[in-house]
Structure 1
């Protein structure tokens, strides 16, 4: 078993180490993730992570962003896969129920069937057993592995014929520009993410020596690494430049997400280039979704592909003021 670089947080349950359940799952301690997007804005308005906006849309309070929960899986998956998790790990999750600040969440990872297994199922739930997310994780080349959670969901999508908010978008549509991103410890990540990496590290549920400026140079790669949940922030900070969102104003949320490191980890202070493409469009009774694949390249002479993200961004129909009017004019039932 590899040495675990993750340390106990200030969480009240931090002294409870991961343990194996009789059901062949590895279970982490209860954690209380923090809400850091209360001041998030886009398109000139507040997001669903603002309490007042959330309440107007029928939610009891502003939810914590989904990828925040990815941090709780890092110690468990590192325990199973070692350095490979941080170098070639993939986490894929469908978000099931929102979590608000003050609620406690626990992560579960099934134990591999054999010591050679590279693919496992994952889940998270609240203290009362309410499911938070379901998904899968793996390391290494995806060839020969089962499809991941989001890949399975995309394969099961039915063609959408009644899009209103996203009717101008097309599968195969690419981002309008090549985006360049860097995350330093004190870099403000913009209106979408109004905090810094240091702000996050002060409250992250699973601290790790390799994330910090002080101890990151002692990592196996000789540099501080970006936490899994903050890869989402890095890639989302410039997403508006891509022009792959629907009509406005509307309020959205993350419905599912997959982050795959190909030549990882991703490093603090490293510059990356992003290319985005719509790979699916879908809808439900309450939402319209655009599924975007973001490819992450190191900004260097040989420009290697280092990571990919698939994000299901769902926009709430009720948040678009002209939804009913435009739906009628388009003949959408």
Structure 2
């Protein structure tokens, strides 16, 4: 099949790209997010980082090259984010050469100087048959010893509501994502004919499809409705993410419903994490078409009462 991407990439090593920062004005819980430069600097970062799934776009041409149309129908990308990227830095995507007929590969992204950005896996078909990055990490988690920010949450807890969503080209996606799909398509690192209104008519599905990185935006735009976050105010970031298409693609101007569930809780020296699985149902048939697992890590230093409350709980 002829590639729908505007640039072709020989082999399994993509070109250096400079992804754009589009979340400087992001807000949640009435405060700026880690993508704001001033907020990031207060937490010891040099600038507001680019959101992790932005880098997923750089893998799409490579994985289409490996798997063809199936990548947009049953593709799964699972990644652990290693180092933040700020606007102006260059990033390159790599996909390991698969064995003939293989449906599973490892992948990674690096900065121009070799600094790792993310490590992960990708597949087509039944993703549960493969050792994907995030499920492997969840299986190795130790039970948290003393949560403060997330102490009111529990594994198995489900979202407070069934969320109703859709993404149009010019639809504002709320305070969490203060830009539109049309805005993103102007600066996306890997333009694709099938992402556009006209080009979508030429796609195998006869409709415009949502880019992989924008599936994260679609699913994240209503996440506050689920009420699966910890105590506030606090600043979080994406530490790992898996996007899995079951009966894809996801389409522009299509109605979906979301159901969420906490599948793990964890902690590190600097963060507390909530791992949430989001299931995506196409409406009105309520067909399960996609899933996302997100490791949302909250920085302990961003929670003003962390030390005092840890002492009250006997944790410090």
Moved over 2 A (4+): 17-20
For 2:127 and 2:62, the matched residues in 1 are separated by 20
Unaligned runs of 5+ in 1: 9-16, 21-25
Task: Say which SS state the counterpart of residue 71 (structure 1) adopts.
Answer: helix
Task: Say which SS state the counterpart of residue 240 (structure 1) adopts.
Answer: helix
Task: Say which SS state the counterpart of residue 267 (structure 1) adopts.
Answer: coil
Tell me which residue corresponds to 1:31: 17
Report whether the alignment pairs 1:5 with 2:4: yes
Report whether the alignment pairs 1:120 with 2:140: no
Tell me which residue corresponds to 1:268: 252
Unaligned runs of 5+ in 2: none
Q: Is the 8 A contact 2:127 2:244 kept in 1?
A: no
Q: Could you give the per-residue CA deviations for residues 42-71 of structure 1, whole angstroms, max 9, x where no partner exists?
A: 000000000000000000000000000000
Task: Say which SS state the counterpart of residue 278 (structure 2) adopts.
Answer: strand
Task: Say which SS state the counterpart of residue 215 (structure 1) adopts.
Answer: helix
Give the TM-score of the pair, scaled to structure 2: 0.99
Q: Is the 8 A contact 2:260 2:278 kept in 1?
A: yes
Tell me which residue corresponds to 1:107: 93
Tell me which residue corresponds to 1:46: 32
**Which of 54, 58, 63 matches 1:77?**
63
Tell me which residue corresponds to 1:136: 121
Query: Over aligned residues, Cα RMSD in angstroms?
Result: 0.8
C-alpha deviation, 1:19, in angstroms? 3.3
Report whether the alignment pairs 1:307 with 2:298: no
Report whether the alignment pairs 1:181 with 2:180: no
C-alpha deviation, 1:146, in angstroms? 2.7
C-alpha deviation, 1:303, in angstroms? 1.2
**Which of 18, 21, 35 matches 2:9?**
18
Q: Could you give the per-residue CA deviations for residues 136-174 of structure 1, whole angstroms, max 9, x where no partner exists?
A: 00000135x332000000000000120000000000000
Tell me which residue corresponds to 1:11: none
**Count of residue correspondences:** 316
